[in-house]
Amino acid sequence: MPTGIWARTCAAILSCAAVGATASIANAACDNKNALGVERVVEVDTTKGPRLGHVQYKDIDFLRPGEVVLTFDDGPSHQTTPKVLEALRAHCTKAIFFMVGRMAVAYPDMVRTVEEAGHTIGSHTWSHKNLARLSSKGAEKEVELGLSAITAALGKPIAPFFRFPYLSDPRRVIADLEARDHAVFSVDVDSYDWKARSTSRMSNNVFSQLEKSGKGIILFHDIQRVTAKGLKSLLDELKRRNFKVVHLVPKTTAATLASYDETAKNLLAKRHVAAANPMTTRSVVWPMSGAIEPSETIARPEGQKTLQPKVASATDASTGVDGSAARSDTSSSRSHRRSPRAAPAARPAPRERPKKTVFEEAFGKF
């Protein structure tokens, strides 16, 4: 491995000589001789919030040519996540699932099934809102309630791995995540499964990008039917093209906040699911343990810039939280000078109220 890469990333290599042995252990129990398996397990030290994924963050480069990390967002779902797990199990390989809190509360048994299969569970907010459009308090609620909800659904702490919805990463939230020792994940390869109309399109999206990058963190969504249907064949093709899977695990688990734990507990109670044991002001944090020892550890590079929240300016004050400019008196006065509009057409009959979603039925508009 080129020493320059690790010099730039300041990654602590624990036992490179054990990589081959690690892969053998990972694949020893696999019946499928043509399975991808797990090439190596890499531990992430999340202290001070390292950021991974070259679409947005360039500081850490831990993958070797031909290596990929499989990640899934937005779940879990009873309809599609089991098929995704089945495809991963067929290839004896592992992934990271960035779960949405509301989905975890709706399907806590599926959260536990994912964890029992040996996958890493991270968080993806409470309800998948664009955090750049929220106030600081609103963004905090999305992040922290999502973490507490997934933790409560699982019944034990999850990984301090976080991915922003829409990859929209405002500085103020990154600063909070750094203070909370959460690693932030972007992507290298996007499957665009959410808009792919066929499994072949999804596959083409992935491999056209891998041909250019040669490696990377791949983004899927386990709530997408096209992913559930096409993942097995895509993994087959990864194997055929000699790609290797790297599984990421955290050095420690994520601590939750007691106030949000209580809310999460109440939400789970509404679903008639037993909540986790009462938590203290900060949940207990302990090292992650698993059957396979990590071959190395990556950490935040010393050169990674700490992002500070932007100081509000007069310009910012005139802009709404969604980025839209506030209406000024000048524009208002101009509107009075416009030529009169034609009389409006007859108002159409009122539409029927949309039916409540499963979440609104269970929790109301939260």
- 56-76, pLDDT tens digit by residue? 999 999 999 999 999 999 999
Type of residue found at 41: V
Indicate whether 334 belongs to any domain.
no
Tell me the CATH number at 250: 3.20.20.370
Please check whether residue 47 is in contact with residue 181, taking contact to mean a CB–CB distance below 8 angstroms.
Answer: yes
Total tally of structural domains belonging to the chain = 1
Indicate whether 16 belongs to any domain.
yes
Residues 6+ apart with CB under 8 A from 361: none
Indicate whether 183 belongs to any domain.
yes
Indicate whether 311 belongs to any domain.
no
Q: Is the pLDDT at 339 greater than 60, yes or no?
A: no
CA 146 to chain centre: 11
pLDDT for the residue numbered 72:
98
CA angle 98–101–105, rounded 5-degree value? 120
Indicate whether 341 belongs to any domain.
no
- Give the C-alpha separation, 341 to 217, whole Å: 54
Residues 84-140: pLDDT tens digits? 999 999 999 999 999 999 999 999 999 999 999 999 999 999 999 999 999 999 999
- Give the C-alpha separation, 205 to 303, whole Å: 33
The angle that helices 225-240 and 199-213 make with each other, rounded to 10 degrees, is 40
- Give the C-alpha separation, 92 to 136, whole Å: 41
Q: Is the pLDDT at 273 greater than 70, yes or no?
A: no
Task: Label the pairing between strands 96-99 and 120-123.
Answer: parallel
Indicate whether 336 belongs to any domain.
no
Indicate whether 44 belongs to any domain.
yes
Task: Label the pairing between strands 244-250 and 40-45.
Answer: parallel
Kindly calculate the radius of gyration of the chain based on its CA atoms and give it in whole angstroms: 23
Range of the domain at 140: 3-299
Residues 172-191: pLDDT tens digits? 999 999 999 999 999 999 99
Span 14-23, average pLDDT = 37
Please give the model's pTM, rounded to 2 decimal places. Answer: 0.74
Indicate whether 342 belongs to any domain.
no
